[in-house]
Amino acid sequence: MSNFFAPPSRRHMAPAVFVIRKIALGFGFYFVCATAMAQQDSTKSMSVDSLLIQQLQQQMAATSQQATPAVAPRTAPSTNPNMSVIGDLRAAYFSPAQRHLQTEFHEAEFVFQSVVDPYARADFFLTLAPDPETGEFAIELEEGYLTTQSLPAGLQLKAGKFRSTFGKINTLHPHALPYIDTPNVYANYFGDEGLNDTGLSLSWLVPNPLDFYQELTVEVTHGPAENASFAASEFDRYLYLAHLKNFLDLTPNATLELGLSGSVGPSPAGFNTFIGGLDLTYKWKPLRLNTYRSLVLQAEALWSRTKIAAPEKITSFGMYSLATYQLQKRLFLTGRFDYSNLPFDASFVERAFSGTLGWLATEFQKAEIEFKLTSCNGYDRTTQVLLRSVFVIGAHGAHAY
């Protein structure tokens, strides 16, 4: 009865609604089942993928462990010293002489340099050279000293055996010079090896408000064993030395250095000797062509006053001047003039002119040839032609400017 009294539209549409509802429920049930099955398949596929990824990661880790060697743990820096060997081969022609041509292995220099700790560094220079009389090779300690690194107030202390800070070239080793022989004034007053002694050296970087570098050095040493001007004393008498270095930048391309030196100590005659020195160095090195062109003008003079007897004192003089011009990147030409008395004979006069052509293959090897003409009022004129080959193996530190 209820369906009969229903409106006509509802009565006629009731079966259709029923069918539609059945269809919707069927589709919903199918969708739910399909979604559940898809999620189950996705979960299964994800688990399979995860297993594959884990297997691949394990294989890659095993391969990397086999291919990559074990890395040692980081350690402290090595404390082994920098080591080098410097060879010096020479040949010479002398006239007049009974044996005009001579060749020699002049010396081998062994260098060991390293920091000791943050407070000091050590430098050792050993030379292996033939004895002038016997010709047999012997090892000698040329230099061995300890230098402080952290003193206050711009101070630095050096203790040991070292080349004294007198003049411009005394601190340089012979192989570092742009000529082969020692200037006559150094050979006559300090010997071929220069002023080399054992003691203490204190340098002070002067806090100068002006725009130039200034360093003062004072030294107290035992007294050299073989020297024409000074000698070691058996009493409380020592060799005292002072040097003042003044360095100035003239232009971006040029510098000027002025040095003042003074030393006093016991003489070979048992009295005192005083030597004062003056050195002047001008260097030109253009910024744009610094590897191909340069010029060095240098002069050094010293005055000696020594007592050879109770009432007698001798004042003598010596000097040298030189010019070094860079012709090419590896080719240098040096001209030098020498003038010298003897420390115990002011009447002795020796003059010399020399020219040296140097070829610097690299910073580890160079070859030089020098021609020298010497005249003297004490012997005949001599002519020399000198050849030198210098080579370095191992660490090679920079030379002093």
In angstroms, what CA-CA distances link 121 with 116, 185, 218, 349? 5, 33, 20, 44
Q: Is the pLDDT of residue 55 over 90?
A: no
Determine contact, residues 354/179, Cβ cutoff 8 Å: yes
Structure tokens of 332? Answer: 């240098």
Q: Measured between alpha carbons, how far is 288 from 253 in angstroms, rounded to an integer?
A: 9
Helix and strand element counts for the chain (H, E): 2, 16
Backbone φ and ψ for 18, nearest 5 degrees, come out as -65, -45
The predicted pLDDT at position 134 comes to: 85
The predicted pLDDT at position 57 comes to: 66
pTM: 0.78
Determine contact, residues 230/267, Cβ cutoff 8 Å: yes
3 state SS of 69: coil
**What would the pLDDT profile of 138-168 be if each residue is shown by its tens digit?**
999 999 999 999 999 999 999 999 999 999 9
Backbone φ and ψ for 234, nearest 5 degrees, come out as -80, -10
**What would the pLDDT profile of 248-284 be if each residue is shown by its tens digit?**
999 999 999 999 999 999 998 889 999 999 999 999 9
* Percent of the chain whose pLDDT exceeds 90: 67
Those residues with Cβ within 8 angstroms of residue 136's Cβ, 6 or more apart along the chain or in another chain:
130
Q: What is the mean pLDDT of the chain?
A: 85
Q: Is the pLDDT of residue 192 over 90?
A: no
The predicted pLDDT at position 167 comes to: 96
Cα dihedral value 206, 208, 212, 218, nearest 10: -20
Amino acid at 69: P
Long-range contacts of 43-51 (CB under 8 A, 24+ apart): none
Residue linked to tokens 């743990």: 73
Mean pLDDT of 170-196: 94
Q: Measured between alpha carbons, how far is 121 from 109 in angstroms, rounded to an integer?
A: 19
The predicted pLDDT at position 138 comes to: 94
